[in-house]
Chains A and B, each alone.
Chain A
Amino acid sequence: MTTAFIGQPVSRVDGRQKVTGAARYAAEFDLPRQAHGAIVRSTVANGRIASIDSAAAERGPGVVAVLTHRNAPRLPYSPHKGAVDPQVGERLHVLQDDRVSHQGQPIALVIADTVEQARHAAALVRVTYTPESWTTDITRVAPVQPTQQKTDQGEVRPPATRRGDPEGALASAEVKVEQTYIHPRENHNPIEMHATIAAWDGDRLTLWDKTQWVHNTAEEIAAVFGIPAQNVRVISPFVGGAFGSSLRTWPHVTLAALGARAAGRPVKVMLSRREMYYGVGYRPHTVQQVALGASRDGRLAAIMHDGYQETSTYEEFSEALLNASRFLYSCPNVDTRHRLARMNVHTPTYMRAPGEASGVFALESAMDELAVALNMDPVELRLLNEPERDEFKKLPFSSRSTRACYRAAAERFGWSRRSAQPRSMRDGRLLIGWGMATATYPMNFAPASAMARLLPDGTAEVTSAASDMGPGTWTSMTQVAAEALGLPIERVKFVLGDTRLPNAPVHGGSLTMASVGSAVQAACRKAREDALARGGANDLLEAVRRIGQPVEASVDTNPGDESQRFSMHAFGAVFVEVAVDPDLGETRVRSMVGAYGAGRIVNPKLTRSQCIGGMIGGIGMALMEHAVLDARNGRVPNANLAEYPVPVHADTPPVMEAIFVEEHDLHVNPLGVKGVGEIAMVGVAPAITNAIFHATGKRIRELPATPDKLL
């Protein structure tokens, strides 16, 4: 019997639950006597509530209560900032006063016996406003320097960096590219809409919530209500996709708890699809200027990358827009500057590959433009500017497999058959284009805890309050645990998603495998060693049988000083073939090959799913996704899945490949993993728009590349 499970294509351990409908998501833990909440939202972008008349709603059949700022209890809202919250500014306080700062801000909660009654009564609440002037047009906002920025890892991220003499180098460069790239607002749009069920028992609260971080939700809600965090239990075994939308604890979670307290019974709040555009964050609209200077032979002399993004009036959300430009290529003269456009919108948040997805779109588009200006193969140009070390952090890379990725993906794709000239490749009347881009995403490793419990019958239960929004935490942790324990997978049960379990970090930033995985491995190894020692046997089953009672081991793992010694990132390369219809302007992606150097791959089957899923997300970003913000009033007129198109089955390229190049990184973390959830999204959009240029000779600098831009 082998127990070498890491690296095996194990099928999902929760697969049966998911294909039979037995897996339960947040809204599916109905409780006896449960009532339903419906949220009334503001219809102005800035101002005060002049009057709010809830009499008709209160008379509605089945209505239990209507909460507004006039009758809702004043909540303590003690300071709380999780690593997922903007470090500057203060979160939205719900139903605490008459202020409205954006369209769609919650201004009342109706609680009724049924969901139909609650929604009906919500429509009966009458509100008038005293509007104040507002800012919802990013083209008319003067962007400002952020106060301060921290990464989700808590380290300070400089808003501006500089090395060498970028202006001088650019001025004297033989070849230059200077362009502006625009990325519109995008919404996560997980198929599961956000939902919370709240139930109080005295001053103890239980929340069934869609969250990527149960412990932070508990701490946030405890701070809001002024109760100890241990009084709040958060349960979230399955998350129906999130991509960042469930990192923060949004106002509807507070409203569910508030409603349950007011009603004296459990309350469920499920957002509508439209509400998903007004209350759970989004990837911000960004405007980026990139200037590249190079010598005739293609060596980068200057990189200047200046970008700004929208944020709300009450919080400064910043993403790592410019990170990649600081280290991805070797260049002595680099200037990056990040700014914020404060508007009357709700605060944006992290969305899959936050910062990198938009920032690398700008950088890699500019690199392609430079290759064209130099008349050089785009892969050649990148190879020529490969850095030996991270020139920003002045540290060696823990590992960097860009060269291997270019080679593997180019080979699989057949890049050598590319004819360089735009519009030179055709299939009948369709224009064919081949493009590529580099991808990168940091390796994140956060403190985590896990507990392993070996039972006398030779089975084990391993726990950590981690989350699984889709990548397969349930399965990969079971694999790591089984291997470390030396038990068959069927004998190991991994449990996650409950604040009663040992602390886990946020499920985001591709850090779960590294962080929780390392804790699980350590806890299981310790439990095994303890059992063998105590049982006085070489065989684990024999040892636990002799001991006759459970053997438990709890371990906390912490990152060491590796981030001081190494620059740690996953790297990759994406190659794309598009076909553009010259008469209709429609772009279809026909083939996409991504190669990734992401350390050890725990489960190639699930990792492939995650990677092709990220690539599909990239197709959405490149070709269709755009949450339109009506500049006149801050509304999102296309706040639904019909008018905000996302990729469907028919958009899937017939050829999709994810290649994992062999990479042994001993520095990053005990498991040697880097995570792939984010990097799979990075580089896809520029690879597609670069391919569109190759097909048509038209450069798309403002996403998405819709037909109107290609006609």
Chain B
Amino acid sequence: MSSDEITRREVLVLTAATGGLLAGGQLMWGPVSPAAAQDAASTPTPLEVMLRINGKEHRLTLDPRTTLLDAVREHLHLTGSKKGCGLGQCGACTVLMDGKRVKSCLSLAALMEGREITTIEGLAQGEVLHPLQAAFIERDAFQCGYCTSGQIMAGVACINEGHAGSPEEIREWMSGNLCRCGAYDHIVAAIQDAAAAPSATQGG
């Protein structure tokens, strides 16, 4: 909630208004959010940022608070990378940064200059799907498809890192990517298939 913050003065006002209730210790307020401490005037100055995404350069004027995920989704309209929490907890936003998997919701876009970012949109070679994309379809490694971009990007990295040796190892190294539809079993099978495919370490 964005309204958890309340100033000390207001707590006092409220205390006065509620009397005994507070004495019962039943009210609990959230911490004062740092944003509330700022006032409207202290607005960050927009930044010029050059992002290299899927081999293309994009010059963007961004609020410095913009995450890499919001930059690709909201500014470049590359909506293949998904937002499932914005807190680094679900993995739906996973992209490759210089070939390594990162959670783009935790990465500030402005810090990505000079990096090579690969999103799901950049994985296929034209019409030819990456082996892991093809394996996902073959193995039915998704249902709703919302975690899928993140699973595939993480899966590509997992294979490249050499962490796809056994189902147990894949499960361990893929556990940062949640799938609420519960497609895990099939995702692991798809990663195994792709790891065995000759061209699996391409892409990213």
Name A residues whose Cβ lies closer than 8 Å to a Cβ of B.
11-12, 14-25, 27-28, 30, 38-44, 50, 56-57, 59-61, 104, 107-108, 114-117, 119-131, 133, 188-193, 238-243, 270, 272-275, 278, 469-472, 605-606, 608-610, 612-617, 630, 632-633, 635, 640-642, 646-652, 654, 656
* Contacting residues, chain A, for B148 (C-beta < 8 A): 18-19
Binds A, one of B96-104, B178-186, B196-204: B178-186
User: Would B21 and A641 count as touching, CB distance under 8 A?
Assistant: no
* Contacting residues, chain A, for B170 (C-beta < 8 A): 649
User: Would B80 and A20 count as touching, CB distance under 8 A?
Assistant: yes
A16-B129, A42-B3, A648-B178 in contact; A632/B25 too (CB < 8 A)? yes
Q: Contact check: which of B2, B26, B40, B172 meets A39 at CB < 8 Å?
A: B2
* Contacting residues, chain A, for B146 (C-beta < 8 A): 25, 190-192, 240-241
User: Would A241 and B27 count as touching, CB distance under 8 A?
Assistant: no
User: Would A642 and B87 count as touching, CB distance under 8 A?
Assistant: yes
Give me 27 A-to-B residue pairs in the complex whose CB atoms sit less than 8 angstroms apart, sorted by A's number: A11-B140, A16-B129, A18-B142, A18-B145, A19-B148, A21-B120, A38-B2, A60-B40, A108-B3, A115-B74, A122-B3, A123-B35, A127-B6, A128-B13, A129-B14, A131-B17, A191-B82, A191-B146, A191-B179, A612-B183, A612-B185, A613-B181, A633-B27, A641-B90, A648-B178, A649-B187, A652-B171
User: Would A21 and B81 count as touching, CB distance under 8 A?
Assistant: yes
Q: Contact check: which of A19, A133, A239, A650 meets B144 at CB < 8 Å?
A: A239
User: Would B182 and A193 count as touching, CB distance under 8 A?
Assistant: no
* Contacting residues, chain A, for B53 (C-beta < 8 A): none
Measured between alpha carbons, how far is A630 from B56 in the docked complex, in Å? 49
Q: Closest residue of chain B to A242, judged by CB?
A: B144
Measured between alpha carbons, how far is A123 from B65 in the docked complex, in Å? 15
Q: Kindly provide the distance from the CB of B61 to the nearest chain A CB, expressed in whole angstroms.
A: 11
Beyond contacts A238-B144, A610-B143, A650-B172: 17 other A-B pairs, Cβ-Cβ < 8 A, are A19-B137, A20-B121, A20-B123, A21-B78, A24-B79, A28-B79, A123-B35, A124-B35, A191-B90, A472-B143, A612-B186, A632-B27, A641-B89, A641-B90, A647-B184, A649-B172, A649-B175
Measured between alpha carbons, how far is A556 from B120 in the docked complex, in Å? 40
Q: Closest residue of chain B to A24, judged by CB?
A: B79
Q: Closest residue of chain B to A469, judged by CB?
A: B144
User: Would A641 and B85 count as touching, CB distance under 8 A?
Assistant: yes
User: Would B36 and A189 count as touching, CB distance under 8 A?
Assistant: no
Q: Tell me if B's interface is mostly helix, strand, loop or mixed.
A: loop
The 6 closest A-B pairs by CB, nearest first: A21-B80, A240-B146, A616-B182, A470-B143, A18-B145, A613-B182
B 103-122 binary contact with A (CB < 8 Å = 1; else 0): 00000000000000001110
Measured between alpha carbons, how far is A385 from B103 in the docked complex, in Å? 53
Q: Kindly provide the distance from the CB of B129 to the nearest chain A CB, expressed in whole angstroms.
A: 7
Q: Does B188 contact A (CB under 8 A)?
A: yes
* Contacting residues, chain A, for B181 (C-beta < 8 A): 241, 470, 609, 613
Q: Closest residue of chain B to A607, judged by CB?
A: B140
* Contacting residues, chain B, for A129 (C-beta < 8 A): 14, 17
Q: Contact check: which of B3, B28, B121 meets A125 at CB < 8 Å?
A: B3
* Contacting residues, chain B, for A239 (C-beta < 8 A): 144
Q: Contact check: which of A40, A131, A617 meets B21 at CB < 8 Å?
A: A131
User: Would B178 and A12 count as touching, CB distance under 8 A?
Assistant: no
Measured between alpha carbons, how far is A298 from B40 in the docked complex, in Å? 72
Q: Contact check: which of B140, B144, B187 meets A241 at CB < 8 Å?
A: B144
* Contacting residues, chain B, for A104 (C-beta < 8 A): 1
* Contacting residues, chain A, for B137 (C-beta < 8 A): 11-12, 15-16, 19
* Contacting residues, chain A, for B85 (C-beta < 8 A): 193, 273, 640-641
Q: Contact check: which of A242, A633, A651 meets B28 at CB < 8 Å?
A: A633
B 19-46 binary contact with A (CB < 8 Å = 1; else 0): 0010001111110010110111001000
Measured between alpha carbons, how far is A169 from B126 in the docked complex, in Å? 72
* Contacting residues, chain B, for A121 (C-beta < 8 A): 40
Number of A-B contacts (CB under 8 A): 261
Q: Closest residue of chain B to A117, judged by CB?
A: B63
B 147-159 binary contact with A (CB < 8 Å = 1; else 0): 1110010000000
* Contacting residues, chain B, for A472 (C-beta < 8 A): 143
* Contacting residues, chain B, for A242 (C-beta < 8 A): 144
* Contacting residues, chain A, for B70 (C-beta < 8 A): 115-116
* Contacting residues, chain A, for B73 (C-beta < 8 A): 27-28
* Contacting residues, chain B, for A60 (C-beta < 8 A): 40, 43
Measured between alpha carbons, how far is A17 from B121 in the docked complex, in Å? 11
User: Would A43 and B187 count as touching, CB distance under 8 A?
Assistant: no
Between A19, A239, A472, A642, the greatest number of chain B beta carbons within 10 A of the residue's beta carbon is seen for A19
Q: Does B165 contact A (CB under 8 A)?
A: no
* Contacting residues, chain A, for B143 (C-beta < 8 A): 241, 470-472, 609-610, 613
Q: Kindly provide the distance from the CB of A466 to the nearest chain B CB, expressed in whole angstroms.
A: 15
A22-B80, A121-B40, A273-B85 in contact; A648/B6 too (CB < 8 A)? no
Measured between alpha carbons, how far is A122 from B186 in the docked complex, in Å? 41
Q: Contact check: which of A241, A640, A646 meets B87 at CB < 8 Å?
A: A640
B 54-68 binary contact with A (CB < 8 Å = 1; else 0): 000000000101100
* Contacting residues, chain A, for B48 (C-beta < 8 A): none
Q: Contact check: which of A43, A116, A471 meets B63 at CB < 8 Å?
A: A116
